[in-house]
């Protein structure tokens, strides 16, 4: 598929936008001028056992509903993608609520499904002005890295996304369109730095331009992330001069010995482009936190795809990110290695292990696992300690706390 064909295939339709922009419609997301979209209250049949899950945001477009200790002061705000939002579970089944119940204090959830790390950081800057907290948790799921650099994320989404959206504009079910253009990072091929770019489709009216095939092509055909993505798909019209410039900046070697090796090199450029943008975002978030007298913790959760590979013995593919966190002294939690260690206690196939915790995103069981794996780091991070940890005896396994 050529870049022109790719962009044509992903051009919006008026019917999709009319439904998405209707404030009275039963939609999953609602338009936002800076971040592209926020979330609405929704009921979606996507949970464990194919049940409905209910998500409530208070106020509309705000944080997810607090369940545990909602009447108490909150000192932890969490930001990120759907693994912070906790998609596919109901309000009381998020890892924030499991952890809040254990720590006896509330934890706000500002997660938004399909955000990248940079978009989550931009939401952090906004929300901390009106609903501040001293402690900030920012996540980076394994696909988030490339989302940082997408001007229009939904054109890169899986093949089933667009047909399903176009076919459901008249449906009475929750309408799933989202990931319209937003603020993003762009690698500057002259300076070698990442530039922060504001949303250049900041009004509902501007989105309707994206129903025009020619406009979409002219607007996005030269985007470097499009060329990297499509070169990794084998597109013959990808600009290898641009890819070469990106490779030089990102220190990625291009193997031109065969068509297959060039595709692999393009995929490496695409992933590295994203991962280095995540490192830039982590640095921006830490600088902000330090300036405001706040503390930052990074959490790395992982997809079923990545989990399958690593549990089967493959190397992790985010060494660039992990090395940056370690080298620069970030406080962080490694969700991947926590699962690797946990899997050692099981005698089962990888797929059976994954089904224990995932329904696409984490199931309630997966969120419970996530909360208690994060707990020791969070407890050590907080000062003063949560009320449930302000005891005189520092021994975690003292006889007084273990009952037969």
Burial of 235 (0-12, 13-18, 19+ CB in 10 A): buried
CA angle 252, 257, 263 (to 5 degrees): 55
CA distances (Å), 132 to each of 126, 207, 314, in order?
A: 10, 32, 40
Instruction: Say whether 77 sits in a helix, a strand or coil.
Output: strand
Half-sphere exposure (Cβ direction) of 194: Cα atoms closer than 13 Å: 25
pLDDT digits (tens, 9 = 90+) for 289-320: 999 999 999 999 999 999 999 999 999 999 99
Residue 304, pLDDT score: 96
Number of folded domains in the chain? 1
Residue 59, pLDDT score: 83
Phi–psi pair at 300, nearest 5 degrees: -110, 100
Report the chain's C-alpha Rg in angstroms: 22
Average pLDDT rounded to a whole number, residues 141-148: 96
For residue 220, the domain's CATH number is 3.40.50.1110
CA distances (Å), 228 to each of 45, 232, 243, 356, in order?
A: 35, 6, 7, 35
* Intra-chain end-to-end CA distance of the chain, in Å: 64
Percent of the chain with pLDDT over 90: 93
N residues, the chain:
404
Global pTM exceeds 0.75: yes
Instruction: Say whether 151 sits in a helix, a strand or coil.
Output: coil
Which DSSP letter does residue 208 get? Answer: G
Q: Which residues, 6+ apart, have CB-to-CB distance to 42 below 8 Å? A: 26, 27, 28, 54, 55, 174
Q: Residue 204: which domain range? A: 3-401
Task: Name the token pair of 16.
Answer: 């999709």
**Residues 393, 400 contacting (CB under 8 angstroms):** yes
Is pLDDT of 397 > 80? no
Q: Return the sign of the alpha-carbon dihedral for residues 162, 214, 30, 123.
A: positive
pLDDT digits (tens, 9 = 90+) for 87-116: 999 999 999 999 999 999 999 999 999 999
Residue 400 pLDDT class (50, 70, 90 cuts): low
- C-alpha span between 239 and 382 (Å, rounded): 49
Residue 84, pLDDT score: 98
Task: Name the token pair of 99.
Answer: 């952890």
**Residues 123, 111 contacting (CB under 8 angstroms):** no
Residue 164, pLDDT score: 87
Q: Return the sign of the alpha-carbon dihedral for residues 201, 113, 42, 131.
A: negative
pLDDT digits (tens, 9 = 90+) for 330-375: 999 999 999 999 999 999 999 999 999 999 999 999 999 999 999 9
Residue 161 pLDDT class (50, 70, 90 cuts): confident
Cis peptide before 268 (omega within 30 of 0): no
């Amino acid at each position: 598929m050529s870049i022109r064909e790719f962009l044509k295939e992903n051009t919006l339709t008026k019917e999709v936008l009319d439904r998405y922009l209707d404030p009275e419609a039963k939609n999953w997301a609602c338009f936002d001028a800076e971040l592209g979209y926020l979330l609405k209250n929704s009921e979606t049949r996507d949970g464990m056992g194919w049940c409905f899950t209910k998500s409530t945001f208070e106020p509309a477009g705000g944080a997810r509903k607090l369940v545990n200790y909602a009447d108490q002061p909150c000192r932890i705000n969490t930001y990120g993608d759907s693994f912070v939002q906790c998609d596919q579970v109901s309000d009381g089944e998020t890892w924030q609520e499991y952890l809040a119940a254990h720590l006896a204090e509330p934890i706000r959830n500002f997660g938004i499904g399909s955000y990248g790390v940079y978009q989550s950081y931009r939401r952090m800057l906004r929300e901390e002005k009106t609903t501040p907290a001293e402690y900030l948790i920012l996540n980076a799921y394994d696909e988030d890295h490339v989302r940082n650099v997408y001007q229009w994320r939904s054109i890169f989404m899986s093949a089933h996304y667009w047909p399903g959206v176009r076919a459901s504009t008249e449906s009475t079910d929750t309408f799933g369109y989202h990931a319209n253009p937003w603020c993003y990072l762009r690698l500057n091929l002259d300076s070698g730095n990442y530039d922060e770019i504001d949303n250049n489709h900041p009004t509902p009216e501007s989105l309707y331009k994206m129903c025009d095939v020619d406009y979409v092509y002219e607007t996005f055909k030269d985007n470097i992330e499009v060329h990297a993505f499509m070169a990794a798909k084998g597109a013959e019209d990808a600009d290898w001069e641009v890819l070469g410039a990106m490779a030089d900046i990102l220190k990625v070697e291009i193997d031109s010995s065969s068509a297959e090796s060039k595709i692999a090199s393009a995929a490496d450029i695409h992933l590295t482009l994203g991962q280095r943008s995540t490192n830039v975002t982590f640095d921006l978030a830490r600088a902000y936190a330090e300036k405001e007298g706040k503390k930052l913790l990074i959490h790395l959760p992982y997809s079923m795809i990545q989990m399958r590979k690593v549990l089967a013995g493959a190397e992790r593919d985010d060494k660039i990110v992990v090395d940056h966190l370690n080298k620069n002294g970030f406080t962080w939690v490694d969700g991947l290695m926590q699962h690797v260690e946990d899997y050692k206690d099981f005698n089962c196939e990888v797929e059976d292990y994954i089904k224990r915790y995932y329904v696409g995103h984490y199931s309630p069981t997966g969120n419970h696992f996530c909360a208690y794996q994060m707990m020791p780091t969070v407890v050590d991070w907080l000062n003063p300690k949560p009320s449930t940890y302000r005891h005189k005896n520092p021994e975690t396994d003292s006889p007084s706390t273990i009952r037969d």
